[in-house]
Chains A and B, each alone.
Chain A
Amino acid sequence: MTHAVEMHDIVVRFPGVLANDHVNFTLQKGEIHALLGENGAGKSTLMNVLAGLYKQTGGILRVHGKPVSFNSPKDAIAAGIGMVHQHFMLVPTQTVTENILLGLDDPKFFLNLSKYDQKILELQEQFGLRVPPTAKIWQLSVGEQQRVEILKTLYRGANILIMDEPTAVLAPQEIDDLMNTLRAMTEQGKSVIFISHKLHEVTQIADRVTVLRKGKVTAEGIDAAGLTPAKLAQLMVGREVVFSVKKSRREPGDVVLKVENVSAHNKKGVPALRGISLSVRSGEILGIAGVAGNGQSELAEVITGLRPCTGKITVNGVDIANRPPIIAINNGVAHIPEDRGKVGSAPNMSITENTIMKNYRHAPVGNGWSIDFLKARNFARKLKKKYDILAPNVRVPARKLSGGNLQKVILAREISAEPKMMVAVQPTRGLDVGAIESIQTLLLEQREAGAAILLISEELEELFTLSDRIAVIYEGEIMGVVSTEETDIQEIGLMMTGSRREPQPSANAQ
């Protein structure tokens, strides 16, 4: 029987890194194949080879039994392989249809597009990928944009779809939709490769699993039936992982962050926050739950000075609303941003230069008008070790790091600042199970040390593990604030869809 894809003895070498070390990988026709591994294990690299973005140093590639050699993504597309990257490559000002047709020979000019709208709608119907063809990309949610990316590959005739961490950016409902789409695709004879760090998803959807560790295969195409998340974690890390981040009891201290009646617009100019009030105390983690796009991003941005607002925001009594980001930074506010590539890092600058982004103004890194690069490098080396950042050295530019390792650079920078107030948006997004555990532990250490932490996450599990209290946000309003011990997933879920909870004295304590 011929496989959809056969990768044999693939070697990819980067300076100082053997990213793929004689990797074998086979994809059967009509299956969903999960590719797992720690951060920096070489998953994205392997898939980039298959998608024609990277060229392997050694090894052979067969697609439907035929040997192939790709020199560009075009070649891969011609062989029926499409890849959806984690950061989308869409033109925000153009419509869905225009984006899908972009770069194709037919049509040559964007005229009479309604004809194509029809074709695209048919594709949507076939795979359950609903998104209005005439909408502009910037008007779409992340989940919808992902659907456009999938449609793009399908329109180009892909029968092998690669998805690099597709669920990391999705809300739970969107994840379900995606799973249905993937199943519809395999039922119609297409094959799917799917990278994820969320192990329970993998056990739910995958037919087979391949695991990479440090560039080598540790499990090749094993049957997913009967695998548990714990077993998968062990295959990935090479030891047993105990999922047991325990937070201690701690009496919170004084109020650090106080948000009073804050309203703001989002980037489309539509109201996103409508009179939000909340407070976080020293030594306390306040979780913000909510379906993506209900104002969470804007809330983080107004607190960190990245977005104008009305109302009052104070940190330890200092008003920081509507003031430049430096004011928040100087008042001890750290920020783990949602978008690590666009906001949190400078792609062409080294790990060192990325880690000193917040502390280069002061000793020991800053030295009067100059920067002590020796001290800066030592600082970066220390963080690299402590946060287990995988890179040959600290001179490596950020763009060369794997997704999870870039996230670790940002976490290292923000947590090591020992902030008084931390705004953490999806802090463990893109991290492997082991790293999630250590980052959660580090966040709890900050809480222990007296930091006030505002944790915005779409992972309810994470919110329940870390938070002392959980506030639910819906359409820019707080539906209620509850103590983690006195609530459960059902109640939070209900509030996330807009049912308001009457304030209780214990939960709303200042």
Chain B
Amino acid sequence: MPFRLTFTKRIEDVPRWYPFVISLGAIVISFVISGILLKLVGGEPLVVGKYFYTAAFGNWAVFSDTLVKATPLILVGLACTVAFKMKLWNIGAEGQFYAGAFAASLVVLIPIVPPDAPRFVTITLMAVMGMIGGAIYGFIPGYLRAKFEINEIITTLMLNYVAIFWNNFWIFNKWSDAGFQMTPTFPKSAWLPRLTDYARPYKTFMETGNPAITGFLKNIGLERISGMTLHLGVVFGLVMVVVVWWILERSRWGYEIKLIGDNPHAAHYAGLNIVRNIVLVMIVSGALAGLAGMSEITGVVHRLQERISPGYGFTGIIIAWLAKLNPFAVIPVAILFGGLILAGREIQPSGLAMLLQGFILFMIISSDVLLRYKLEFTRTRTSGETV
């Protein structure tokens, strides 16, 4: 071979933008490979690709749906980000999501507040309960890890299944709606406000026929939001992005998290309480995933039921990794995956979106090599001389 591929260990730092370009490259390559695969099984990659795009980003209405899918992903992505910063491998966001959904549901299922309570009260209480539920569910593996050095990867993974069974038990045995594996629909006071809800008063105003009012409303394009299901959860997500960023980059605690993540021995020497910090990080991570669960049942499903998550918690791991543990980068990555999930639902073969996700994860993990090594093509001389 006239060329040889060599890996050289990087001695200089890569520029700040480089990891993100690598992530982008990994996504593109995953798309290309999926396309080739699709072609091999007789599909039309370009048609499918175009369909994917229109189904997720084609117009404001579908983009709103994409954002609805992205909302829980932002929150679970943040949950993983916080834990991974400390090199705590919490892969239990899925279980914490269910735990959060369950705990939030208790507010209306027990019920803790009556169905006609003000929406603000119900929603606030549910959000708090959701976070507590997730936090408790994060606390358990955190405590086991901190106190008894029980590997958190295994416990968080196992607890995912426990949470799903736990949920099923209650929705089947206690709060089942006519024997189905779901609870009755929540009262309206437990629904997060959606954009479409604001389109309703718009209709009434339009019916007044007053040209000044209708003209104004038309001008600001309010009619477009009719039917849009984007809900308040997205605001939860965005607020949490800022909160998590502040914690990690500006707060004393964030500094401690990073110090423990980088060198626990040095952190111990510097006087940090590592046991407490592990537990706290798992609590916060769990609370974020729990909030995602709450947002999903109050914003989309409006009841507790089986399969409220198509694996959001696991996707959160990929998202955190792709975003290089940068809270702001979690937003675009979550939107991309939201689009994938949305478009993937309606496409045949049905596993395509999942396959693509798998490829992206694989690519992203292997592309990390490029951060540490330089790839070079070198010409090898044909004279047989060693180089």
Contacts and interface: CB of A to CB of B under 8 A. Distances in A.
B251 A349 contact: no
Given A69-B387, A349-B262, A325 B252 contact: no
A325 B259 contact: no
B259 A346 contact: yes
B251 A370 contact: yes
Interface in A303-331: 304, 306, 324-326, 328-330
A57 to B, nearest CB: 10
Interface string A48-86: 000001110000000000000101100000000000000
B173 interface: no
B100 to A, nearest CB: 25
Given A14-B12, A357-B259, A366 B269 contact: no
Contacts of B387: 69
Interface string A233-262: 000000000000000000000000000000
A337 B269 contact: yes
Contacts of B268: 306, 325
Contacts of A330: 271
Contact of A349 (B13, B246, B250, B258): B258
A346 B252 contact: no
B271 A349 contact: no
Contacts of A325: 268-271
Contacts of A231: none
Give the one of B9, B268, B270, B272 with max A CB within 10 A. Answer: B270
A371 B252 contact: yes
Interface in B258-274: 258-259, 262-263, 265-273
A349 B259 contact: yes
Contacts of A349: 258-259, 262
Interface residues of B, number: 27
Contact of A343 (B12, B252, B265, B272): B265
Nearest to B6: A71
B8 interface: yes
Contact of A357 (B6, B265, B270): B270
B255 A344 contact: no
Contact of B255 (A304, A348, A360): A360
B255 to A, nearest CB: 6
B8 to A, nearest CB: 6
A357 B252 CA distance: 11
B253 interface: yes
Nearest to A367: B252
A254 to B, nearest CB: 25
Interface in B124-168: none
Contact-residue size bin, chain A (C-beta under 8 Å from the other chain): 35 or more
Contacts of A371: 250-252, 255
B339 to A, nearest CB: 34
Contacts of B246: 370
Nearest to B374: A55
A118 B253 CA distance: 54
B11 interface: yes
Given A15-B13, A54-B11, A346-B259, A358 B270 contact: yes
B270 A369 contact: no
Give the one of A69, A71, A358 with max B CB within 10 A. Answer: A71
Given A15-B13, A345-B263, A366-B252, A306 B269 contact: yes
B302 to A, nearest CB: 37
B129 to A, nearest CB: 25
Contacts of B258: 349, 353
Contacts of B267: 346
A342 interface: yes
A78 B265 CA distance: 36
B8 A14 contact: no
Contacts of A344: 266, 269
Given A342-B263, A360-B252, A361-B252, 19 more contacts: A14-B12, A15-B12, A54-B11, A304-B269, A325-B268, A325-B271, A335-B269, A337-B269, A342-B266, A343-B266, A344-B269, A346-B263, A346-B267, A347-B262, A349-B258, A353-B259, A356-B255, A369-B252, A371-B251
9 contacts: A306-B268, A342-B266, A343-B269, A353-B258, A356-B255, A357-B259, A358-B270, A358-B271, A371-B252
